[in-house]
């Protein structure tokens, strides 16, 4: 029981941050029809920027127990700055273009942002020195769980709830759902699609940078972490269904738990296990588990 609980808690922790990145990928594709490979690099930027902000504040006697507040603020602020710049500067050129062009441009963006990370923070891994353990650990039915991991899981659930509320109960959410299926009709009704695209891409960027900022205290930031996450995010959207927010949630849980199970039992099978599931979904239900629904 202890081993099973450790695997489950670890898997849900991985899934909670993976969901944020996959959700950003889903909302951008659902509305803008762009498969944004740079979502993983936004995650990496959020991790490095979060480390920088928290280290700076701690050096100036900021209470360690409150480090999660500036960490979340750093992820949000970075996404709100980077998102509009990239959308207006680059992404507007890929709309309604061939999918190959979209993939090549967003992959080029990945390469450029990775070089930006190396230029600013160098190539050596960076960490917060175990600052997450300031919250201690919790014993749950014999399993030892870092309290910070539970905090991250709670934050992801809250964010998932807020996204659901935004999409279902606000005017902007109704516009997103409407233009995801009938963009031309939205334009005919007077909706400014440039503004919608700007807000949607910024939302996707914020989810990525916030995910990176939240996960980094429990690990380390490395310059290639964004590329690794793109692979996992791709697995999530294939399993859950491209364009489906519900699919992102379920797909992230499946990938997170499988990843944790493989690491605990046979680490060499980590990626193979995930892609066996991906292949099975592509063969049995190519549209994914929730591929019929948009955003």
Residue 294: pLDDT over 60: no
What does the pLDDT read at residue 185?
76
Residue 237: pLDDT over 90: no
What does the pLDDT read at residue 75?
92
Share of the chain above pLDDT 70, in %: 98
What does the pLDDT read at residue 295?
60
What does the pLDDT read at residue 2?
72
Rounded Cα gap, residues 174 and 160, in angstroms = 17
Query: At which residue do the structure tokens 């504040």 appear?
Result: 57
Query: Over the stretch 245-291, which tens digit does the pLDDT of each residue have?
Result: 788 888 889 888 888 888 888 777 777 888 888 888 888 888 888 76
Query: Over the stretch 1-19, which tens digit does the pLDDT of each residue have?
Result: 677 888 888 888 888 888 8
Rounded Cα gap, residues 173 and 274, in angstroms = 32
Q: Which residue has the higher pLDDT, 261 or 97?
A: 261
- Please state the rounded mean pLDDT for residues 54-79: 88
What does the pLDDT read at residue 45?
92
Residue 228: pLDDT over 70: yes
How distant, in Å, are the alpha carbons of 31, 104, 130, 190 from that of 92? 13, 14, 41, 19
- Mean per-residue pLDDT of the chain: 84
Beta-carbon neighbour count of residue 189 at 10 Å?
A: 11
Report residue 234's pLDDT band, with 50, 70 and 90 as the boundaries.
confident
Rounded Cα gap, residues 62 and 77, in angstroms = 19
Task: Report the b/e string of 193-223 with b at 16+ CB within 10 A.
Answer: beebbbbbbbbbbbbbbbbbbbbbbbeebbb
What does the pLDDT read at residue 80?
94
Report residue 61's pLDDT band, with 50, 70 and 90 as the boundaries.
confident
- Please state the rounded mean pLDDT for residues 37-55: 88
How distant, in Å, are the alpha carbons of 14, 252, 274 from that of 93? 34, 30, 34
Statement: the pTM of the whole predicted model exceeds 0.85 = yes
Sign of the CA dihedral running 284, 287, 293, 295:
positive
- Please state the rounded mean pLDDT for residues 205-230: 85
What does the pLDDT read at residue 291?
67
What does the pLDDT read at residue 9?
84
What does the pLDDT read at residue 178?
78
CB proximity list for 204: less than 8 A, separation 6 or greater: 23, 24, 25, 27, 28, 36, 39, 83
What does the pLDDT read at residue 77?
94
State phi, psi for 63 to the nearest 5 degrees: -60, 125
Structure tokens of 4?
A: 């099973």
Residue 49: pLDDT over 90: yes
Query: Over the stretch 161-176, which tens digit does the pLDDT of each residue have?
Result: 888 888 888 888 888 8
Share of the chain above pLDDT 90, in %: 10
């Amino acid at each position: 029981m202890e081993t099973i609980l450790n695997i489950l808690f670890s898997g849900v922790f991985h899934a909670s941050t993976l969901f944020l990145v996959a959700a950003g990928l889903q909302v951008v594709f659902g509305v803008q029809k762009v498969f944004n490979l740079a979502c993983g690099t936004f995650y990496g930027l959020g991790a490095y920027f979060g480390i920088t902000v928290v280290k700076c504040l701690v050096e100036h006697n900021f209470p360690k127990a409150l480090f999660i507040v500036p960490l979340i603020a750093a992820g949000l602020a970075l996404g709100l700055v980077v998102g509009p710049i990239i959308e207006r500067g680059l992404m507007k050129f890929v709309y309604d273009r061939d999918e190959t062009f979209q993939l090549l441009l967003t992959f080029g963006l990945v390469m450029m942002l990775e070089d930006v990370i190396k230029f600013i923070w160098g190539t050596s891994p960076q960490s917060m020195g175990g600052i997450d353990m300031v919250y201690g650990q919790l014993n749950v039915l014999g399993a030892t769980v870092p309290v910070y991991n539970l905090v991250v899981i709670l934050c992801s659930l809250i964010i998932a709830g807020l996204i659901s509320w935004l999409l279902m109960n606000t005017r902007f959410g109704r516009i997103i759902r409407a233009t995801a299926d009938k963009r031309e009709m939205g334009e005919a009704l007077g909706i400014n699609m440039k503004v919608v695209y700007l807000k949607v891409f910024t939302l996707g960027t914020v989810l990525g940078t916030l995910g990176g900022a939240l996960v980094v205290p429990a690990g380390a930031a490395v310059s290639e972490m964004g590329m690794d996450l793109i692979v996992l995010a791709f697995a999530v959207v294939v399993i859950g269904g491209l364009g489906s927010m519900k699919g992102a949630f379920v797909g992230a849980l499946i990938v997170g738990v499988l990843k944790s199970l493989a690491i605990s039992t046979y680490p060499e099978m980590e990626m193979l296990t995930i892609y066996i599931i991906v292949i099975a979904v592509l063969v049995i239900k190519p549209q994914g588990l929730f591929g019929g629904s948009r955003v």
